[in-house]
Amino acid sequence: MEKSVFKCKVEPRNVDFTSRATVSSMCDIILYVAGRDAHNRGFGIQVLADKNFGWVLSRLCIELDYMPREYDEFTVHTWISDYNRLSSTRNFTLTDGAGREFGRAVTQWCMLDYDTRMPVDMKTLEKVHDGTIVDCPSPCERPRRLGAVKSEPILEHKVAYSDIDFNRHMNTMRYIDLIFDTMPIEVPEKLEAVRMDINFLREALYGDLLSLKGECSDTVRTYEFANEAGDALCRFAFEIR
């Protein structure tokens, strides 16, 4: 089994006022590639929809040594390295036109039974992974487990029409945008390299009122979205250089 290869390009909609790709749009590209590859290899959403199962992203990390610029072209290699009862690990490397690696990502996916809203034991679905494993380790440290964030809320946001995807779930990129919107604009302006870790705990749906907590140390910014009941929905950590 070989890694899959995708040619990508930083489009105008992907860049911020520095003419470089945003962190959320690089994440969008990674997730787009994941969806395309799953589809091409026949275990995409369409196939699972027949069983009323779907892939749900549980953790993600991405490392970028620099932010590519508008119209930069790059190559994404992606492969599934392993799976266990609960999750399947999909990896990514990003290389520039000269073949130099400038980024890497690891995503961990659960399978959800939409009838019961419970995770599906992946071992009962071994065929889904038949012939899909590439014997190559993850290209960086896997997504870290992130603890609770204890600050006062810094933002409230009601999940709106433009935030939701085809599942009526709050879109991952919108979470990242909302977080960056709370940072001093000098942070994305001066950002040279970044590692982002995400843990998803619960989904947010249309109309939910979210609150965002954030903590900032010398080395890492951590964030947590919670719903009105106080349940943590997802946590983010950013190491920014």
Q: Which stretch binds its own copies (CB under 8 A): 18-26, 119-127, 196-204, 222-230?
A: 18-26
The reply to whether 32 sits near its own copies by the rule CB under 8 A is yes
Q: Residue count at the site for its own copies (CB under 8 A)?
A: 31
Shortest gap between Cβ of 237 and its own copies (angstroms)?
Answer: 19
220 vs 196: CA distance, rounded Å: 10
- Measure the CA angle with vertex 75, ends 69 and 78; round to 5°: 130
Q: Which stretch binds its own copies (CB under 8 A): 9-17, 52-60, 80-88, 102-110?
A: 9-17
41, 44, 47, 70: residue in contact with its own copies (rule CB under 8 A):
70
90 vs 34: CA distance, rounded Å: 8
The residue among 213, 229, 223 whose CA lies nearest residue 176 is 223
Shortest gap between Cβ of 184 and its own copies (angstroms)?
Answer: 10
Name residues whose C-beta falls within 8 Å of residue 18's C-beta, 6 or more positions apart in sequence. 67, 188, 189
The DSSP result for 136-174, as a single string, is: ---SSPPPPPP----S-EEEEEE--GGGB-TTSBBPHHH
Query: Reduced to 3 states, what is the DSSP secondary structure of residue 21?
Result: strand
The reply to whether 72 sits near its own copies by the rule CB under 8 A is no
The reply to whether 50 sits near its own copies by the rule CB under 8 A is no
37 vs 205: CA distance, rounded Å: 27
The reply to whether 7 sits near its own copies by the rule CB under 8 A is no
The reply to whether 117 sits near its own copies by the rule CB under 8 A is no
The reply to whether 63 sits near its own copies by the rule CB under 8 A is no
Shortest gap between Cβ of 239 and its own copies (angstroms)?
Answer: 19
Name residues whose C-beta falls within 8 Å of residue 60's C-beta, 6 or more positions apart in sequence. 27, 30, 105, 106, 107, 108, 143, 172, 196, 197, 198
The reply to whether 78 sits near its own copies by the rule CB under 8 A is no
7, 13, 117, 145: residue in contact with its own copies (rule CB under 8 A):
13
Q: Which residue has the tokens 């600050």?
A: 151
The reply to whether 185 sits near its own copies by the rule CB under 8 A is yes
Interface residues with its own copies (CB under 8 A)?
Answer: 11-13, 15-17, 19, 22, 24, 28, 32, 35, 70, 160-168, 173, 177-178, 180-181, 183, 185, 188, 206
